[in-house]
Structure formats: C-alpha cells, structure tokens
C-alpha cells in the first residue's frame, strides 16, 4: 500500500504557512504522483455524466474513474457502453448492475474495484463540483485525516438555495448521527466523502445498505473505528425534483433507522 504522506515528506507541521493555506483553500493542485480513485454512482444521468467525467479529468494526478451504472433506463448505459467500445475512456472502468439496487449498492460495487491511495465518491448530477477535490484530499495527504467530508452547510462558497424542508431534514439527521457517533459534523448526508484506501478496505466487507442509507452507515462505521475525520466547506448546486432529484421522505425514515441500527452493530 502506498504511503499517502510521501506527497508531503517533511510532514504538514513543517509546510510553509502560505503553502498550507493554499491547500486548505483548494488553490494548491493535487500532486502529479497521487493515484486518486473516484467512484461515480450513476442512475439516469445521460445528460450530465460526460461533463462530470470531463471535470474529473482536469486534475493533474492519475485518476481512476469507476462508473457504476445502476441499471439506468434513459440511455446512460448505452452511452457508457459506446465509450468502452470506442476506447475513448481508458481511465474509466464501467460496471453495470442488471437491476436497479440503489446508490449504496453502487458505492459498494465501486469500492470493490478501487486501486488508488485515496478514494472519493462523486455524484453524476453536477450538484457537486470536481474542481474542489484539492480541498477535500489535502487533509489526507498531509496526514491530518483518514476521512474527509465535504459540507454544504459549513462554507462561505455560494450555493443554490433550495428546499427548506430538505435542509432541515439534513440538519436533523446530522444531529442525530452526531449524538450516536460522537462526531461534530455539519453535513452527514453529503455526497463528498473521501477515504484513505485502507479505510475502504476495512469497512467494505461490513457494508449492507443498498440505497441512501449508505451515508449514515458509512459515518457510523468510520466513527466506531476511531478514524480521524475532517470536514471542509464545499459549494453546492442543488437540483429540483423536475431536474431529476431522487431522494425523498422514505429515504429520511430509512436514514433514522440506519443511524440507530449502526450505532451499536456492524
């Protein structure tokens, strides 16, 4: 297993303040010798998947992109199959589920194929901006964290304001999660979760959730194993239901069950 701290040999404590500040703000690019694995769960995202992958590829490091198509019905699967046939995406591994199982199942499948030092989860709907990877990844490369969450609620970066009910539910779920895990997150339900690969390898065999319950399940299992967790602010461009937003009330109830279920048990 590569040592992620090799990207910062002196240790982060000895990095000049201006360089460290640039990393915290996401202004310092990712190291060229880093291998980053990005899991992209996809369900009916034909209109956005190409742009998401284009943005991911802009980073100077070696990027392994693992796209997991969760049995899309809008032509996404056919588009991905065409990429593979044309040989236009050698850096993209495409895996297709035979039937729709949910985001959690797609993430679990992606975890089985990652090879990078650092693993990041990226939604395919352009609500989250891949340009912010440096801000998310540097705390791990500097040896200050094992897991990093990108918070939509702890940021000075502009973000689209939508759905008061969703924001309230997210904050309530995060508070309940914090009460059980002892963490002090502001956004447990965020898509942007970044892990050292050793963390993924330790947790992957225990994962059970197939839908959006994967978010509280991952959080509970990270906390119970005492991994170091950092949180950084990110921008957010939320979609409307008309534009394809998929999470609903049933997912909220399931999240509550998962928080309580994985509080004590794997």
- 3-class secondary structure per residue, 22-55: HHHCCCCCCCCCCEEEEEEEECCCCCCHHHHHHH
Alpha-carbon span 29 to 42, nearest angstrom: 27
- What's the pTM value of the predicted model, to 2 decimals? 0.89
Please check whether residue 78 lies inside any domain of the structure.
Answer: yes
| Overall domain count for the chain | 1
* 25: in domain: yes
Are 188 and 173 within 8 A, CB to CB? yes
Considering the domain boundaries, does residue 5 fall inside one?
no
> pLDDT per residue over 28-76, tens digit each?
899 999 999 999 999 999 999 999 999 999 999 999 999 999 999 999 9
Tokens at residue 184, please? 């002090």
CATH classification at residue 35: 3.90.550.10
Domain membership of residue 193 (yes or no) is: yes
Q: Tell me the per-residue pLDDT of 235-260, one tens digit each, with 9 for 90 and over.
A: 988 755 554 456 778 899 999 999 99
Distance CA 109, CA 91 (A): 17
């Amino acid at each position: 297993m590569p040592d992620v701290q090799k990207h910062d040999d002196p240790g982060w404590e000895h990095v000049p303040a201006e360089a460290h500040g640039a990393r915290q703000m996401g202004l310092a690019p990712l190291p060229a010798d880093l291998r980053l694995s990005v899991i992209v769960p996809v369900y009916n995202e034909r209109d956005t998947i190409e742009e998401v992958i284009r943005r991911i590829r802009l980073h100077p490091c070696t990027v392994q992109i693992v796209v997991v198509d969760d049995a899309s019905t809008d032509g996404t699967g056919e588009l991905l199959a065409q990429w593979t046939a044309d040989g236009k995406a050698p850096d993209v591994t495409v895996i297709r589920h035979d039937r729709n199982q949910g985001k959690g199942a797609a993430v679990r499948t992606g975890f089985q194929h990652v090879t990078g030092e650092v693993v990041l989860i990226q939604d395919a709907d352009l609500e989250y901006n891949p340009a912010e990877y440096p801000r998310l990844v540097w705390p791990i490369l500097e040896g200050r964290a094992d897991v990093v969450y990108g918070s939509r609620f702890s940021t000075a970066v502009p973000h689209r304001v939508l759905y008061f009910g969703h924001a309230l539910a997210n904050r309530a779920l995060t508070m309940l999660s914090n009460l059980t895990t002892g963490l002090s997150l502001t956004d447990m339900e965020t898509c942007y979760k970044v892990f050292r690969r050793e963390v993924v390898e330790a947790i992957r065999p225990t994962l059970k959730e197939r839908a959006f319950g994967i978010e509280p399940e991952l959080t509970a299992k990270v906390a119970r194993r005492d991994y170091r967790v950092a949180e950084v602010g990110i921008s957010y461009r939320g979609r409307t239901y008309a534009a394809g937003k998929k999470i609903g009330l049933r997912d909220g109830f399931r999240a509550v069950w998962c928080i309580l279920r994985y509080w004590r048990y794997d």
